[in-house]
Amino acid sequence: MLTESEDTEEIIAQVAALDIGKAELVCCVRVPDERRPGRRLQEVTTHPTMTRAVLLLADRLRQLRVGRVVMEATSDYWKPVFYLLEAHGFDTWLVNARDVKHLPGRPKTDTLDAVWLCKIAERQMIRPSLVPPPPIRRLRDLTRYRIDLVNARGAEKNRVEKLLEDACIKLSVVASDIFGVSGRDMMAALIAGERDPKVLAQLARTRMRTKITLLEEAFTGHFTDHHAFLLTRMLGRIDAINTDIAAVEDRIGEQIIPFADAVDRLAEIPGIGPTTAAVIIAETGMDMTHFPTAGHLVSWARFAPTVKESAGRKKGTGSTGHGNPYLARALGEAAVAAGKTNTFLGERYRRIAKRRGKKRAIVAVGRSILVIAWHLLTEPGTRFHDLGPDFHTTHTHPEHRKRNHIRQLEALGYKVTLEPAA
In the chain, where are the structural domains located? 15-122, 136-255, 259-378
For residue 306, what pLDDT is reported? 67
CATH C-level class of 15-122: alpha beta
For residue 315, what pLDDT is reported? 64
For residue 113, what pLDDT is reported? 84
C-beta of residue 203 within 8 angstroms of C-beta of residue 189? yes
With a CB cutoff of 8 Å and minimum separation 6, the contacts of 130 are 284, 285, 290, 300
Can you list the residues of the chain whose pLDDT is less than 70? 1-10, 102-106, 305-321, 422
- Stated pTM of the model: 0.83
CATH topology of domain 136-255: Helix Hairpins (1.10.287)
Radius of gyration of the chain (CA): 29
Predicted confidence (pLDDT) per residue in 164-174, tens digit = 999 999 999 99
C-beta of residue 145 within 8 angstroms of C-beta of residue 162? no
Give CA–CA dist 269/271, Å, rounded.
6
Predicted confidence (pLDDT) per residue in 223-265, tens digit = 999 999 999 999 999 999 999 999 999 999 999 999 999 999 9
**284 closest CA partner among 333, 345, 331:** 331
Give CA–CA dist 215/217, Å, rounded.
5
For residue 33, what pLDDT is reported? 81
For residue 416, what pLDDT is reported? 84
SS3 30: strand
For residue 39, what pLDDT is reported? 82
C-beta of residue 56 within 8 angstroms of C-beta of residue 47? yes
Give CA–CA dist 176/190, Å, rounded.
19
CA-to-CA dists, residue 419 to 174, 279, 367, 412, angstroms: 57, 55, 41, 20
C-beta of residue 15 within 8 angstroms of C-beta of residue 70? yes
Domains 15-122 and 136-255 share a fold: no
With a CB cutoff of 8 Å and minimum separation 6, the contacts of 120 are 100, 126
**209 closest CA partner among 189, 235, 182, 191:** 182
**215 closest CA partner among 180, 255, 264:** 180
For residue 230, what pLDDT is reported? 96
Predicted confidence (pLDDT) per residue in 289-333, tens digit = 889 999 989 988 888 766 666 666 666 555 666 778 999 999 999
